[in-house]
Amino acid sequence: MNTDKIKSASPHALSSLPYADNALSPVISANTIGFHYGKHHKAYVDNLNKLVAGTDFANLPLEKIITQTAGKADKTAIFNNAAQTWNHTFYWRSLRPKGGGGPPAVLKQKIEASFGTVDACKQELATAAMAQFGSGWTWLVLDSAKLKVVKTGNADGPMTTGMKPLLTIDVWEHAYYLDYQNRRKDYVNAVLDNLIHWDFAAENLG
């Protein structure tokens, strides 16, 4: 038995924020980060730990919990909290202070092969974010050898359908409402222009 794995699997920890709570301001305020990371993300982690305690999922790593509960009607609560725990950690890492700009060469080449230009890729991400009805996520993914933009509802992500996530933008209202109210488009464009972490996406190409 691998006790290291058991120790690291449960209880799940709230991953540390990779920058200060005011580091994304003014695009995303410290107030938004305070609620989004300190309340919403933390609640998903806390709920997950309560839900898996004493179950077959208690000692599984987060990714395994997600793939093993996806699409199972009697495991919806565990899936939702596990996936949201993972999605938020990935979202914080998809952003950085003074982000935006141009992607590194290896990613730029793939973006141009799939979308034509970096601007066309950003436009597709923004369009997908606006097209997501209600809560969800917008993703840049690697699907076989091609890059694609996909949108998912609620806690769903691309992992359960075999695509490799490169970066994500949270389009739940809690991600932008304090700063942008109903203006999701302004939030998404500001994130793409000023915060998106292309180097992180390039690392995820693997």
* Contacts with Mn ion, residue ranges (CB under 5 A): 170, 172
Report in angstroms how near the CB of residue 77 gets to Mn ion at its nearest: 17
Residue with smaller CB distance to Mn ion, 35 or 127: 35
Least gap, CB of 174 to Mn ion (angstroms) = 5
Shortest distance in whole angstroms from residue 197 CB to Mn ion: 17
* Cβ(155)–Cβ(79) below 8 Å: yes
Residue nearest to Mn ion (CB): 170
Least separation, in Å, of the C-beta of 136 and Mn ion? 10
CA distance 102 to 122: 11
